[in-house]
Amino acid sequence: MTDRRTRLFRAAFVALDLSGANRLLVSRARGLGLILTLHHVRPFAGGEFAPNRLLEVEPAFLDLTLARARRLGFEFVTLDEAWRRVRQGASAKPFLHLTYDDGYRDVRDFALPIMRRHGAPGTLYIASGFADGNAGMWWLALEQAIARADSLTVRFADGAEEIRTASVAEKRAAWDRIYWRLRSGPEEAMRAEIDRLATGQGVDLGAFSRDLCMRWDELAELAEDPLVEIGAHTVTHPMLAKHPEDVAWAEMAESRRAIREKLAIDARHFAYPVGNPDAAGPREFALAAELDFETAVTTMPGHLTAAHAANPTALPRVSLNGLFQTRAAVDALLSGAPFFLTDAARRLRNAA
């Protein structure tokens, strides 16, 4: 997310709070409930250059979110119960379910005690390659490459370009340029180029999943907690829509098979890596249904409504973003106002 977009979102959350729009729109904007998306939950230890900060929230913010949700009348439910209420098309109280992508160890260490304190169930979507400790995390590799370098020569599809990365401002600008240009192309080419850049800066490409993600024995212990559900999240965390159908099918099926083999758990729920329209679309939704996943979640934002009962493998989620760790942001997301207003603006544009 660019600095400009970050500032706009922050201003929007403040405006919704100060204007009272969250309260005024809640009866029209809030759905039956929502599924929250999280990745890391841990104290922030980064510096001024932290482009992946959006993927981590501090424990105190998760605690604030759940306390605020409880105060606003939300019930904390399992994913099965959330899906039951969607199929039923009614819920006496709005519901909330926590989800954590990738299987980071800090979820166990920092999030689980907060979940227990609030009685809030959560689903951990496990990429089996991360649990094996051998799948790469290209977004972290790119961050480290830029952090260590004073300049990088990047091979884009239309030619090589030398990019300065000496100052914090240059590193931020380089991230925006490199990340989005590489991500817009084929994923295999993006990963190969990031691996080359990171290796050139002495980055240990295998260290991220080894150091950050829970191994199978840790997951087995965690899965015994009644608040924890285990879901599938592919093997190597690819943007599925960028790959041939047989590759996407294998990634989805093999992650479920690995969880069954290692944990003796049938992972009935699935999360698409990245999860936006570039990474998951109608083909992937159909594959999830073919593989008999009961639900599959995207990162496309929104509350759950009765209409989603017709699309169990294309469910929206609401991201807890590390760039917006404020009470105003929580209230806006729980009210549904940002999504309601965005949809209204889209309808107006389409009608014009």
Instruction: With residue 291 as reference, give the H or E element that holds it.
Output: none
Instruction: With residue 88 as reference, give the H or E element that holds it.
Output: helix 79-88
pLDDT of residue 350: 83
Query: What are the extents of the domains in the chain?
Result: 3-135+217-351, 138-200
pLDDT of residue 81: 98
pLDDT of residue 1: 64
pLDDT of residue 46: 84
Instruction: With residue 30 as reference, give the H or E element that holds it.
Output: none
pLDDT of residue 346: 86
HEC states along 154-215? EEECCEEEEEECCCHHHHHHHHHHHHHHHHCCCHHHHHHHHHHHHHHCCCCCCHHHHHHECC
- State which residues of the chain have pLDDT below 70: 1-2
Q: Residue 241 has what DSSP assignment?
A: G
Residue pLDDT, tens place only, 109-126:
999 999 999 999 999 999
pLDDT of residue 318: 98
CATH of region 3-135+217-351, choose from 3.20.20.370, 3.40.640.10, 3.40.50.450, 3.40.50.300: 3.20.20.370
